[in-house]
Chain A
Amino acid sequence: MTILQRILHVEDDPSIQEVARVALEIVGGFEVQSCDDGYSALERASEWQPDLILLDVMMPGIDGPTTLARLREQAETRDIPVVFMTAKVQTGEIEHYRAIGALDVVVKPFDPMTLAAQLRTIWERAHAG
């Protein structure tokens, strides 16, 4: 199985972007790039070819689910797994994201000390099956 190494984090909130970078780069030891919105994520994902995209659900411009749909339309990004990050508001939201093709969902607020481990678990579980 491929080792999880490169993570593209798509998030419009700069504070969350920074804390996630600490959580993933320093605590988790991953290689991380960040994008502020869905459009730049589409470009960066095809250039950089991350192992996984951590995608915020609610963003200005195109939201997370729309970005996921666009990623699936581009040949270069079609197979990159996506994990949503959401400040869950509605019941059934998480099930819905899984249904539209997200590998899994990370709930906000997240704990910076365990975010990396959470992603690693999701990754391993997905590859074990």
Chain B
Amino acid sequence: MQDDDVQAKLAALREQYRLRLTHDLQTLLAQTRELSTHEQGIDPESLQTLRQGLHRNAGSAGTFGYAKLGSEMRELELWLQTAMESAIAPSPPMLTAMHHRLEEILRELLETPDDAVGESRESQELASGEREVQIAVMAGELSDHLVQSLQGFGYACRKLASCHEQAPESASAQAPESMAVDALIVDAARIDESQWKATLEKMPSAMLILLSDEGGFDARLHAVRHGAQGFFNHPVDLPSLERRLRHLINLPQQEPYRALIVDDDVELAEHFRLTLKSAGIESRVITEPQAVLQGLRDFVPDLVLIDINMPGCSGPELARIIRFDDDWLKIPLIYLSAESNAKRQAQALAQAGDDFLVKPITDVALIAAVTARAQRSRQLSLALARDGLTGLIKHPAIKELIEIEMARSQRADTSACVVMIDIDCFKSINDTYGHATGDYVIRLLANLLRQRLRRVDHVGRYGGEEFVAILPSCTLVQARDAIERIRQSFAGLECVAGTQTFRASFSAGISCTRDWTDADALLEAADRAMYQAKQRGRDRVCLALAEAESPRGPDV
């Protein structure tokens, strides 16, 4: 049985469980509320029922990925049990306290993104071992704004007061010793250097990001000398700050680089392969030049290493053959050669090819050269398929993905959803605050979508202020819940334009592959639903329901 299949089944069970958990928590809330009004003592039977309700979920929540919630329920269960077994029976105030705790647990459950929405295994594994990213902010009067905005992006963020700020909460907001903080954001103009340095010392794993009023070279040099890994000028561009944080804290797990080695010297090629492998670079060896096109298609490398002297076909000839094909135009072609004559090297490069590595080459030099070029090649191909402003997938690529997902979900008989999102009154934002602010709002939403959707989801920028998301293995209701949460977060974000602040919102329409027969109809349906959301007053999510006269029967 396929692993994916198990994961899909588990995800479906998790989803059911989440519904049940919500229901159980509501029942427990009603029970504790009721019992907390019993002034005349509480009957043991009701307490036993309450305890069973807690116990049942304390034991099961962890199995479905809600470990934290499970242990919170376990705590409450133990609390109740201890009270029940002691001479002092549980009292109404204790049940009131329990009621409040349960309320918090339920709120937290409702606010966390639905992990069960067809989570991929990768993210399930993450969920079990993951902790929240912790960010501390020391930025004087700007702290609140930063904290609030970063929380909107899903970070656990809190402000640390400085000594000369006699904020009432300063006592509780002081950094505890060796706090596990991932990043400390410091406003260098508003916080004394000695002070933030002392705080930073207590956070051995924290990365430092400095905010400054000065934008010059000296200020940057100063930041670098203080070990800062990020530097921003006021007013801080939030999406860039968020991107920097994500980059610093959560370097995405990259696919290994792939190199295709074309060399008729089997042993040497094998040596290169092993050397690259030791550095985590995957490679495939081709000893016959004729096989190179097939190798490119099958292996899809990030770069090609070509021996310059091969029988039957020279390196430069082969490079030109590769370049005939548009698909391989962007792949770096690197010659490997004993040729140290600069003139001949230049001649080879003039024909085709991007660089020369001279044999014999040390392992370290080979790895460094391949890594640097593969990295560059990846960045380039990513940039080509992505929108410059938001880093999201561009229009043509996202349409292709919709077609792929449509076919996939029909084949596997699962459902996927397409979401069309449009920022409300975008023209008036542009007119009021200028185009730079409009771009800022677009990036804000792009980052939020990227952050809040699952890794298996695709997000693209469809047009000016229009976005499309594709959510595989997801029902209409799950998609609505996920997008609804994003809508709320976005509407709550404070956008900054110079000294002014404002709020933006979006309208969204969602359609499901089960209800439509082809990709165009699916996308149009999502678009219609989005317009419906606009007509109903914007800042809302509408679903595209299948038309009653053409239901998708089992044979369609």
Contact = CB atoms under 8 A, between A and B. Distances in A.
Q: Do A and B bind each other?
A: yes
Interface of A: 13, 15-16, 18-19, 22, 26-27, 58, 86-87, 89, 108-113
A16 B81 contact: no
Specify the main secondary structure of chain A where it touches its partner: loop
Contacts of A58: 52, 55
A112 B77 CA distance: 24
B74 A87 contact: yes
B170 to A, nearest CB: 40
Specify the main secondary structure of chain B where it touches its partner: helix
B511 to A, nearest CB: 30
13 contacts: A15-B13, A15-B17, A15-B20, A16-B60, A18-B13, A18-B16, A22-B9, A27-B6, A87-B60, A89-B78, A108-B59, A110-B62, A112-B63
A88 B139 CA distance: 46
Contact of A13 (B9, B60, B62): B60
B357 interface: no
B60 A112 contact: no
Interface string B129-165: 0000000000000000000000000000000000000
B530 interface: no
A108 B60 contact: yes
B63 A26 contact: no
A108 B78 contact: no
B63 A16 contact: yes
Interface string B1-29: 10001100110010011001000000000
Interface string B60-84: 1111100100100010011001000
A39 to B, nearest CB: 18
Contacts of B77: 89
A27 B4 CA distance: 11
Interchain residue pairs A-B with the least CB separation, the first 3: A109-B62, A87-B59, A108-B59
Given A19-B64, A58-B55, A87-B59, A112 B10 contact: yes
A109 B61 contact: yes
Contact of B60 (A22, A109, A113): A109
B508 interface: no
A19 B62 contact: no
A108 B6 contact: no
Nearest to B21: A15
A112 B58 CA distance: 16
